[in-house]
Structure 1
Amino acid sequence: MTSTPDRDGKPAAGDQAGSRFATLTFERDMPVPLPVLWQVWTAPAARAVWSAPDPSVVVEFLEADTRVGGREVSLCKVAGRPDIRCECGWLELQPARRSVNYERVSSGGATRSVALVTADVSGTDARSRLVVTVQLSSPTGEMEAGYRQGFAAGLDNLAATAGRTMVLQRVIRAPRAIVWNSWMNPETLPQWWGPDGFSCRTTRIDLRAGGEWVFDMIAPDGTVFPNHHRYAEVRPEERIAYTLLWGENGPKHADAWASFEDQDGATKVTLGMVFSTEAEFQEAKGFGAIELGLQTLGKLERFIASR
């Protein structure tokens, strides 16, 4: 029997819970720009931030390839319980419009559920809306309640994450290989990184997964801002993921990523940052982080054009 849900996947009155088949619907309205919502929904670095339904669950990502035909594999770990494996395969990706993926959940080698997940997004530069439909099949019917609770909590986390996420984009008139090599080259990255008038002073730099960049940003007035980037993922010519620390081995203030996409012979660069707290996000916006970040991408384009 397929239940007929209302908001957040709750069956309507009279429907039977715990059936083998169920259709669940989840809705969220958020005061964030549509590009931010899309990035938080699809970018692996952002998904890693919000995917755990509650603090007792640790989600470990084993694979993450967000493109049609790609898949995402993660383990959900709860102390004292067997790990739960979740495999997600991307079937459709229409940027800032829709994604469709299958999801298979297993434990101890046995499949516990399979689902088709459709996410429709819409919005403006001020607000956005996410509607997720889950068509669920569970051999024993035991997974329906868990899906309702897990997706509802996860999407609450997503909304909170989106509220402290900054997304910057620029189309650079150069092939993707050139843009990538200008970014992921220890000789060239310090030459253009930072807003207009800023310079970099590098202590050490290793642009590999597991590597780091320890450096100072020096403002036009001579003010020094210590920085430390730790690189978690490097997929050549596709994306990088890294954490931003306040100075060498200092506290983390953001999870960040950069992606690179072909666009009619040019390259669309997306730079995303999930700040550790909403207060840090608001402070960054207050001192002009969006404008300064766009200046940084502008410097990258000018650097490439000058070579």
Structure 2
Amino acid sequence: MTSTVPAMTSQVENGKELVLKRTFRAPRQLVFEAFTQAEHLRQWWGPRGWEVTHCTVDLRPGGRWHYCMKCMDPAQGDFYDMESWGLGIYDEITAPERLVYTDYFSDAEGGINNDMPTTQAILTFEEVNGSTNVISRSIYGTEDALKTVMDMGMLQGITETWDRLAEHLTARQES
């Protein structure tokens, strides 16, 4: 019998809020750690063909998560060898139930790119029969800001990223 991977669902609410939901077959504590520890994030963050080449996490209110993803797949054409830097500043941490941070595009030094949309990310982790439901609410300042990231392929990217997370969680539990 083959088990299927739970699909991610997405919907836009109020024109500027993207809500993503997915169930991961792993305990809530492990899923929370995968979102908040650099050693986990390095293994799964980013779409397929991208690797995290830099990742630091200071998990406390006001702390920073600074990372770089680099495209390592020549088949991705124009994206090959491209770097994408991001910065999260933690607003609220209630382990292992809730994580709130403001997400920015940044540079290698952690300087915020004010030309790109900012997101308030609210993640909740609900344990259900040994699995974990993750609900991500990404709130943008305007409808245009959400449209900008959607036009950049964000839904495909997060789908692949969360697929990689599911694979990482499975591997962690089997080892």
Residues in 2 aligned to 1:193 and 1:34: alpha-carbon distance in whole angstroms: 19
Per-residue deviation, residues 146-181 of structure 1 (Å, max 9, x unmatched): xxxxxxxxxxxxxxxx21111111100111112112
Residues in 1 aligned to 2:97 and 2:68: alpha-carbon distance in whole angstroms: 27
Residues in 2 aligned to 1:34 and 1:188: alpha-carbon distance in whole angstroms: 24
Specify the alignment match of 1:172 in structure 2. Answer: 24
More contact order relative to length (CA 8 Å, sep ≥ 6)? 2
Per-residue deviation, residues 57-101 of structure 1 (Å, max 9, x unmatched): xxxxxxxxxxxxxxxxxxxxxxxxxxxxxxxxxxxxxxxxxxxxx
- Distance 1:305-1:171 versus aligned 2 partners, 3 A rule: same
Residues in 1 aligned to 2:18 and 2:144: alpha-carbon distance in whole angstroms: 13
Per-residue deviation, residues 165-213 of structure 1 (Å, max 9, x unmatched): 1111110011111211222222112221111111112263212222101
Deviating above 6 A after TM superposition, structure 1's stretches of 4 or more consecutive aligned residues are none
**Could you tell me the TM-score, scaled by structure 2's length?**
0.78
Matched, 1:268 2:130: no
| CA positional deviation for 1:35 | 5.8
Match of 2:52 among 200, 203, 208: 200
Match of 2:39 among 179, 183, 187: 187
Contact 1:166 1:290 in 2 (8 A): no
Residues in 2 aligned to 1:290 and 1:224: alpha-carbon distance in whole angstroms: 19
Matched, 1:284 2:149: yes
SS of 1:188's equivalent?
helix
Q: How does 1:53-64 map to 2 (within 5 A)?
A: none
Higher helix proportion: 2
Q: Give the gaps of 5 or more residues in structure 2.
A: 1-8, 74-79
Matched, 1:299 2:164: yes
| CA positional deviation for 1:34 | 9.5
Residues in 2 aligned to 1:274 and 1:296: alpha-carbon distance in whole angstroms: 19
- Greater C-alpha Rg: 1
Specify the alignment match of 1:249 in structure 2. Answer: 111
Count residues with an aligned counterpart. 151
Q: Give the gaps of 5 or more residues in structure 1.
A: 1-32, 38-161
Contact 2:10 2:18 in 1 (8 A): no
**Could you tell me the TM-score, scaled by structure 1's length?**
0.46
- Distance 1:192-1:294 versus aligned 2 partners, 3 A rule: same
